[in-house]
Structure 1
Amino acid sequence: MVSHRRPTQSGLNRSVRVTVVSAAAATAAATLTGAPASADPKDTRESAKAAVDRLYAEAEQATERYNEAGERVARLRGEADRAQDAAARGQETINRMRNSLGAMAGAQYRTGSIDPALALLLSSDPDTYLERAAALDRAGARQALTLDKLRHVQRGVAQTRAEATRALTELERNRAAVTRHKRAVEAKLRQARQLLDSLPAEDRASFDRASRSGRDAAPDLTGVAPGSGRAASAVSAVHRALGKPYVWGANGPSGFDCSGLMQWAYAQAGVSLPRTSQAQRYAGRMVPLSQAQPGDLVAYRADASHIGMYVGNGQVIHAPYPGAAIRYDPVGMMPVSSVTRI
């Protein structure tokens, strides 16, 4: 997400650079990059900036893992709730069947257990007895059928309860993963901020200037048309998000991370996208970069840990990294891994 920053161009000569780079920056860079504290201040400053880029990129990777774990938590919570509801309904069915069987057993007990042949011999009305015997046979068949259904429902409820237990166990595991990934993101961002804060003010300013590649001026998009109505709606939405802050783990409407912005923009077009950039790259048909149209999703890095929306004339709109607003950038700001048409 940040490795696309253009190298800072400075007119300071070597001797002036030595005076402006602080010892704190050298120490921080040495800690984070492995460079010795006695390294050339110019090299140390560049190493510090490279380390910030790396930390932001790692934070974004952790953010996508956080988003993925959060999506799994939501899915598993739904599975567990549905399984528990199904188990409760199944238990109600079991209770009704048991009551029915109990009623049948009580009726049989009240009629006694006299041998049917003897009852026929003693009966003063054989025809009536035979009718009752046939009714009892039918009742017995219903009882057997109810008992069979009861066993089947009991097996189903046991399986459903096992599924609910599995979903709840997996839910707790994924909740722990969400917390772990959240801490990883926060740690990376904290390290990056500490490293930036250790740089002299002039170096911090140049770092910020180098990261604002065209945010303040909209590119010329005259005559650029999306390939479909839903793409047009998504492009319109992503334009409305320009200038809003990057907020990791957020999908709008007041702040976004990279995949959250894509999900929100297409939701305004009535299209449901997955939550993570890795899943979004497979949410449509892949096309060559040379054939990109406005509304296409452009995934970056081999692991697709960053994503933006192509808006025409070689430009994307994306949520870059914490501290930077949603903005335009050249489509080639980082290595492109895929272009997806929704």
Structure 2
Amino acid sequence: MASHRRPKQPNSAYATVLSATAVAAVAMSSQTASADPLPDPNKKGAQAQVDRLYEEATQATEKYNGAKERADTLQKEVADLQDTAARKQAGLNDLRAQLGSVATAQYRSGGIDPSVQLLLSSDPDAFLTSAAGMERLTARQSQTLQQFLSQQQVLQQQRTLASTKLKELQENRTELSDKKRLIQGKLAKAQRLLNTMTAEERASRAAEEERANRSSDRADLGNQASASQRASAAFAAAQSRVGMPYVWGATGPSSFDCSGLTSWAFRQAGISIPRTSQAQAGAGTRINSMSDMRPGDLIIMRTDLSHVGFYAGNGQILHAPKPGAQVRYESIARSGMPFMWGVRF
């Protein structure tokens, strides 16, 4: 089987720096070790716990991404509602001015019609209870009045809906803050565990990451074609990001989390897909068998659907795996994450 030639990676100096600092690449490395007690930091236990904390952080990241996507959607809906309400208020002001002109004319001709008085009072809706007064308005004035009352009702509905959305947005932002603290707490705890390791143990861990990166450099992807031109274009975009660091919540172009990489890559191909791995798992066409996967298909991992990458061919996945790692190719069989299904666009 032919050996796959990958696009040129970032310069060697950049890659060397990333490799040398891989064990320290967490967001909260400056926090102290006083937050909670540490488990027994023997080599095997500490290594296993760091990996578990990184896995938990990546799972929590997808939940954070979902909450953020909802917050962004709510923010746009609120802005649209407020903009619509402002335009309707301007229209109501125009109608009120027209009706004010009616009142002025009636005053000059011998007094203001009681119906118009009611309309221009602090409670214009009370006019509806005095239908007899409508007979004293011209057909044109009556139409303007009905239009005013109708638009006033719609405006109130818009404002009520905007208020409800604002409350939901505030609750969502609280959820975002909680999830952010959870992720940062796990990363900080992992960093404290790393800090308990000896220099030799940290060097061993860094060497393990370097081996994974070298293995990515030599990945044999075969020569299978993608199922569609758009999948091929998205996959090519993701390939151009090999060597970029994993950063939770990041969507590129120079750092990514797992679903940030896949959604960014498809955007480069002119296709909008959902932001989170769970939402991406429900989009497109499901591919249930690994044998039916083609390069550029999304591959959904873990039983909670919290990881996603690109199927790269020949049993390989291209993904942003975890904190402290780079975007790279890895064997699916050795990833330690169960394959759930594929998604084709």
TM-score (norm 1): 0.77
Tell me the amino acid that sits aligned with residue 226 of structure 1.
S
Is 2:325 the partner of 1:338? no
Shift of residue 213, structure 1, vs aligned partner: 6.1
Is 2:260 the partner of 1:257? no
Is 2:323 the partner of 1:306? no
Counterpart for residue 316 of structure 1: 317
**Aligned mates of 1:188, 1:255 — CA distance in 2:** 20
Counterpart for residue 240 of structure 1: 240
Tell me the amino acid that sits aligned with residue 266 of structure 1.
F
Shift of residue 49, structure 1, vs aligned partner: 2.1
**Aligned mates of 1:299, 1:212 — CA distance in 2:** 25
**Aligned mates of 2:38, 2:228 — CA distance in 1:** 47
Shift of residue 108, structure 1, vs aligned partner: 3.2
Return 5+ residue gaps in structure 2 as ranges: 1-33, 112-134
Q: Which string of whole-angstrom CA distances, capped at 9 and with x for unpartnered residues, describes residues 163-192 of structure 1?
A: 111222222222222222111111101111
Tell me the amino acid that sits aligned with residue 292 of structure 2.
Q
Counterpart for residue 278 of structure 1: 278
- Aligned runs of 1:1-342 on 2, under 5 Å? 31=37, 44-112=42-110, 140-211=138-209, 214-216=212-214, 217-288=217-288, 289-332=290-333, 333=335, 334-342=337-345
Q: Which string of whole-angstrom CA distances, capped at 9 and with x for unpartnered residues, describes residues 190-220 of structure 1?
A: 1111112212233333334445564213312
- Indicate if the aligned counterparts of 1:84 and 1:164 stay in contact, CA closer than 8 A: yes
Q: Which string of whole-angstrom CA distances, capped at 9 and with x for unpartnered residues, describes residues 63-87 of structure 1?
A: 1122122212211111111111111
Counterpart for residue 117 of structure 1: none
**Aligned mates of 1:270, 1:151 — CA distance in 2:** 46
- Indicate if the aligned counterparts of 2:301 and 2:339 stay in contact, CA closer than 8 A: yes
Shift of residue 252, structure 1, vs aligned partner: 0.5
SS of corresponding position for 1:307:
strand
**Aligned mates of 2:276, 2:92 — CA distance in 1:** 42
**Aligned mates of 2:156, 2:220 — CA distance in 1:** 63
Tell me the amino acid that sits aligned with residue 224 of structure 2.
V
**Aligned mates of 1:69, 1:32 — CA distance in 2:** 30
Shift of residue 238, structure 1, vs aligned partner: 1.0
**Aligned mates of 2:231, 2:218 — CA distance in 1:** 20
Tell me the amino acid that sits aligned with residue 83 of structure 2.
D
TM-score (norm 2): 0.76
Q: Which string of whole-angstrom CA distances, capped at 9 and with x for unpartnered residues, describes residues 315-339 of structure 1?
A: 1111111111111111232111221
SS of corresponding position for 1:274:
coil
Q: Which string of whole-angstrom CA distances, capped at 9 and with x for unpartnered residues, describes residues 213-250 of structure 1?
A: 64213312242211111111111111110001111111
Counterpart for residue 118 of structure 1: none
**Aligned mates of 2:181, 2:318 — CA distance in 1:** 28
RMSD of the TM alignment (CA)?
2.5
**Aligned mates of 1:109, 1:324 — CA distance in 2:** 79
Shift of residue 139, structure 1, vs aligned partner: 6.3
Tell me the amino acid that sits aligned with residue 145 of structure 1.
Q
**Aligned mates of 2:321, 2:85 — CA distance in 1:** 46
Return 5+ residue gaps in structure 1 as ranges: 1-27, 114-136
- Indicate if the aligned counterparts of 1:234 and 1:268 stay in contact, CA closer than 8 A: yes
- Indicate if the aligned counterparts of 2:222 and 2:313 stay in contact, CA closer than 8 A: no
Higher relative contact order (CA 8 A, sep 6+): 2
Counterpart for residue 5 of structure 1: none
Tell me the amino acid that sits aligned with residue 106 of structure 1.
T
Number of residue pairs matched?
285
